[in-house]
Amino acid sequence: MTNSKRIVLSSDHAAIDLRQAVARHIAVQGWDVVDIGPTTTESTHYPKHGQAAAERVASGECSLGIILCGTGQGIMMAANKVKGIRCGVCSDTFSARMIRQHNDANMLSLGARVVGEGLALDIVDAFLTAEFEGGRHATRVDMIEG
């Protein structure tokens, strides 16, 4: 069963500082943060971190996930390869809200070389406070899942 307030975070080396800022920001909001690293800035490979986080969500261990790399793009592509994952890269709060409301996104991806910390935390808040609207959007999300 999915833990509704448990969220997984992961990144590559390009986004360690922003990932840790996100972790602090949402922990004080009551989220049970599962930060699966990495913890050092040694160069690493975003696909394995995106996949590892996505598997925590797909399994139901975590209800949502936030992943980060330099652009947010590569790690998003890796996460979306895991069945059941709907992850979008957001650089604005409108998109972050809409991927929850219309696309029932269960993961958010951020680019640490694209957005500053202040905007990133606002994007995170927009994503975490929005709710899926269902209805016609559920029909479309079902079509994505196949």
Q: Return residues touching ligand RB5 (CB under 6 A).
A: 12, 14, 46, 69-71, 73-74
Annotated catalytic residues are: 69, 102
Q: Between vectors from CA 79 to CA 15 and to CA 95, what angle results, nearest 5°?
A: 75
Closer Cβ to ligand RB5, 58 or 69, answer by number: 69
CB 31 within 8 A of CB 7: yes
Closer Cβ to ligand RB5, 7 or 14, answer by number: 14
Q: How far is the CB of 98 from ligand RB5 (least distance, A)?
A: 22
Q: How far is the CB of 20 from ligand RB5 (least distance, A)?
A: 16
Distance CA 124, CA 38 (A): 20
DSSP per-residue letters across 82-123:
STT--EEE-SSHHHHHHHHHTT---EEEEETTTS-HHHHHHH
Closer Cβ to ligand RB5, 65 or 74, answer by number: 74
Q: How far is the CB of 113 from ligand RB5 (least distance, A)?
A: 7
